[in-house]
Chain A
Amino acid sequence: MPADFRASAQAPLADTQLRANFRRAMDGLISKRSAQFADPKEWKDLRSLGAAVRARSLLRLPQLLEALEAKLTANGIQVHWAETVEQGNAIIEGILARRGVTLAVKGKSMVSEEMHLNHALEQKGVEVIEADLGEYIIQLDHETPSHIIMPAIHKNTQQIARLFSQKIKDAEYTEDVAALTDLARRVLRRKFEDAGAGISGVNVAVAETGTLVLVENEGNGRMCTTVPPVHIAIMGLEKVVERLEEVPPILSLLTRSATGQPITTYVNMISGPRRPGEKDGPEEVHVVILDNGRSRIFADPQLRATLRCIRCGACMNHCPVYVRVGGHAYPGVYPGPIGKILTPQMAGLEVNGDLPHASTLCNACVEVCPVEIPIADLLVRLRREGGHNTHSTVKGVNSHHSAAETWIWRGWRLVYQTPMLYRLTSFFLSRFGWLVPASAPGLKTWTAVRSKPRFAARTLHDLVRDEKVPHE
C-alpha cells in the first residue's frame, strides 16, 4: 500500500513537545555546523573536493568494488555480496550460527536498519544489543531512529530519564545526563564482554588498501569491532573510494556537517582480523556489501548523484519540513531530504511516489550538502518519473500517472503559450475571478489558514498599456 506522508505527518505536527525537541536540537546543530564552516572559501573548496571524490568513485564503482574485494580478501577480511536485504540477513545469520553466537553487540549502522537486521536475528534466537547510546535508548523503547546521526533526537532528557527508570533493572529515576550515560555504560560494558560477535557499519571503504573506516564518538564502535571474536561490518555498495588520501576530506566534511565536530572522538581504520602474535582484535572479520536497489540508482546518470551521500544528516538538520514532523513521519529508514530521494528509488515510486512532492524545493538542503547532491533537481526528476511514461530505470516509473493531471497541465500549457488565450483568461479572471468561492477545491485548503488571493481589477498588462511602456 502506498505510504502517505501527509497522513503520517499529522500526529507529529500536533505534538508540541516533539516539535520543541526537534526545533531545539536542529537549531543547535545548525549553529554548530555554521561555526565549522565560517570561512566560505574553505567550505567551497573542501566541498568541491568532497563532491569530486564521491562523483569520481561512483564513475568507477564496479572497478573499485572489485579492487576493494581483492584487497580486503588479501587482508584476511571475508567479503560477502548481498543483492537483497534478505540475502544480507541470511549471510549474517549464517556466520553467527556457524560460530554459535547468541548475543551480538551492534554499533550504529543505517544499513542494518535498512535490513531490519535486529528483527531478523531475533527471529533466529540471537539477541542484538545496540551499543550506540542513542540507538540503545530507542531500542529500549522499541522505536526506530528519527535521525540518521542522532537516532534518539526526538526525545528530551526527561523522556529518557523515565524510560531508563522503567526499563533498566534497579535504575533509579534521574535527570542527570552524566548519571544516565553511566547507567547505559554499565549495562553495555557487560554486553561487550559477553557478546560472540560485534556488528558495525562502514563510513568509507578504501579500495587501494582494503581498509574499512568507521567514525564514532562513544568508543562503542571500537568495542564492537575489537572485543568480540567475530566482527561483521555492513556497508552499502556506494561507500567505496579509490585511495586512502581521499578519506580525510570526506571525514572532515562528514563530521563538521553532521555534528559540528572537527573530528570524531574515535576514527577506526580496520584492515584485518587479529594476526598471529597479536594480543587482541577479532579472530574473524567479515564485510557484507549490500546492493538493495543501489545498482539500479547507479544506472541512471542523473539519479546516481543520490549515491554520493555520506550520511551526515545536514540536509535534515536544515530542512523546514523535517524540523516540524521529525524522522518518524517519513516512510523507510532515511528521513529528511535524502530520504525523499533515496526511499522512493529503493522502494519504488509505486510505494513512495508521493514523497518527492513533500518539499517546497526551498533548496536549504542543497545549500548545505557537503557533496553537492542536487537534491531539489532530483526531487523534480522523481516527480516527473512518477507521473510520466518515460524510458527510465526508476522503479515504479509512471505509477502515479493521472490522466486528469496530465490534461490540466496540457490546458495550462495551451493558455500560457498562446498570447490570445492568456489575454482572454486574464481578462476574465481580473473581472470575475473574485466569484470563485473560497470553498472551491484546492482553494479551500489554502484558505484554511490564509485569506483568499484577490485578483487585481487590472492586470500588469493593462497597467503597462495605460502607461505606454514600449513593447519592443
Chain B
Amino acid sequence: MAHPRPTPRPQAVYFFGTCLIDLFYPGAGLAGIKLLQSQGIEVIFPPDQSCCGQPAYSAGHSEEAAAVARAQIALFAKDIPIVVPSGSCAGMMKKHYPELFHGTPMQAEVEDFSARVYELTQFLVDVLDLRLDDLGAPAKVAYHPSCHAMREMGVGDQPKSLIRQLAQVELVNIPRERECCGFGGTFAVRHAEVSAAMVGDKIDAIGQTQADVVISSDCGCLMNIGGALEAAQRPTRPLHIAEFLWERINAR
C-alpha cells in the first residue's frame, strides 16, 4: 500500500464525493467541501465522477470495478491530493486500486493516484491542522469509527480530535466502538439476519451513551445505523462528521 507523501499545505485539492453521498447525503459532501474552502483551499470537483467501484469489487466482480475505477482515475490527473469524505471509498481507492491494476500498463499511474488519496478527517487534521470555533448549543455526541477508515485507511484519533475541539460538545464512547455495525454492502441483504443482529446491538450500545447525535465519517454506516435508529424510533440523530462540524462552526 502506498503511503501519503508528506504534504505541504496544498493550494488546491480534488474532492471525490462518493455515490452514496451524491444520492443520499449530499449535505455531507457539500459540508466537506466548505470545510476545505474555509481553510483557503481551492476545491476541484470533477463533474464526471460517480463511484469508486467498491460495490462491484467486494462482490467479486473486479473487471467491472476496474472499469469504473479507470473512469474515475482519468478525472483526477493533476498532482494534488484527492480528499474523500468516506473511509471506505478512500480505502478502496488507496488500497485496492493498486491491487486491481497491478501488473497492467496503468500500474504506475494508479499508484500515483492512490498515493494522493486522503480520508477527509485525515486531511483536515494531518495536513490542514484544522482549528474549530464552536458556536453551537451544548450537545452530547458519540462517534462511530468505520471499519475501513480504521483498518484500511489507518484513521485513528483524527475524527475524535476534531470533535474534542468543540467547547460545547461532550464526546462519549460507544461500548465496543470498534465493532462493525453490520452494513457490509450486499452482506446486509445476503445475510440479513446476522446483519440485523449486528446493527441491533450497535443501536443498543449507542442508546447506552444517551448521545443526541451519532457521528460517523462513512455514509454506509450512517445509512445502516441511522436507518435502524429511525425504525426503532430511537432519539439519537445520525450525522456525517463533515456536516456536524460545519453546523457547529456556523451555529445552525
Contacts and interface: CB of A to CB of B under 8 A. Distances in A.
A449 B228 contact: yes
A6 B191 contact: yes
A426 B23 contact: yes
Contact of A384 (B23, B61, B70, B192): B61
Interface in A442-472: 442, 445-456, 458-465, 467, 469-472
Contacts, number: 203
A464 B55 CA distance: 24
B58 to A, nearest CB: 6
A320 B179 contact: yes
B71 A449 contact: no
Which of B17, B42, B61, B147 has the most A CB atoms < 10 Å from its CB? B61
A244 interface: no
A325 interface: yes
Main secondary structure of the interface of B (DSSP, over half): helix
B192 A448 contact: yes
Contacts of A442: 189
B53 A455 contact: no
Contacts of A189: none
Contacts of B27: 456, 463
A442 B190 CA distance: 9
B59 A409 contact: yes
Interface string B136-147: 000000000001
Contacts of B200: 449
A444 B27 CA distance: 26
Contacts of A455: 23-24
B59 A456 contact: no
B44 A358 contact: no
A16 to B, nearest CB: 11
A417 B70 contact: yes
B151 A366 contact: yes
B164 interface: no
Interface string A308-325: 000000000000110011
A367 interface: yes
A429 interface: yes
B60 A324 contact: no
A422 B224 CA distance: 24
Interface stretch (B118-126, B180-188, B209-217): B180-188
B22 to A, nearest CB: 4
Contact of B56 (A5, A412, A430, A462): A412
B56 A429 contact: no
A318 to B, nearest CB: 9
Q: Pick the most buried of A321, A361, A433: most chain B CB atoms within 10 A of its CB.
A: A361
B30 A463 contact: yes
A325 B64 CA distance: 33
Nearest to A465: B47
Nearest to B52: A416
Contacts of B194: 6, 9, 13, 321, 324-325, 358
A418 B189 CA distance: 27
A442 B192 CA distance: 10
Contacts of A447: 227, 231
A450 B184 contact: no
Given A363-B152, A460-B22, A357 B29 contact: no
B210 to A, nearest CB: 21
A367 B188 contact: no
B217 to A, nearest CB: 15
Interface string B141-166: 00000011001100000000000000
A384 B60 CA distance: 4
Given A321-B194, A357-B187, A456 B25 contact: yes
A360 interface: yes
B182 A5 contact: no
Contacts of B226: 451
B50 interface: yes
Contact of A320 (B33, B99, B198): B198
A52 interface: no
Interface in A402-457: 406, 409-410, 412-413, 415-419, 422, 426, 429-430, 433, 442, 445-456
12 contacts: A6-B190, A384-B60, A386-B60, A412-B55, A413-B67, A415-B50, A416-B19, A426-B22, A451-B231, A463-B30, A464-B30, A470-B44
B193 A454 contact: no
Contacts of A461: 17, 22, 47
A260 interface: no
Contacts of B169: none
A460 B51 CA distance: 13
Given A320-B198, A455-B24, A450 B47 contact: no
A32 interface: no
- With most chain B CB atoms within 10 A of its CB, the pick from A387, A429, A471 is A471
Contacts of B67: 413, 417
A470 B11 CA distance: 13
A383 interface: yes
A359 B58 CA distance: 10
Nearest to A420: B48
Contact of A380 (B60, B151, B224, B232): B60
B132 interface: no
Contact of B51 (A406, A416, A469): A416
The 7 closest A-B pairs by CB, nearest first: A360-B184, A450-B227, A383-B60, A384-B60, A362-B180, A363-B151, A419-B48
Nearest to B196: A449
A417 to B, nearest CB: 4
Nearest to B182: A360
A455 B20 CA distance: 9
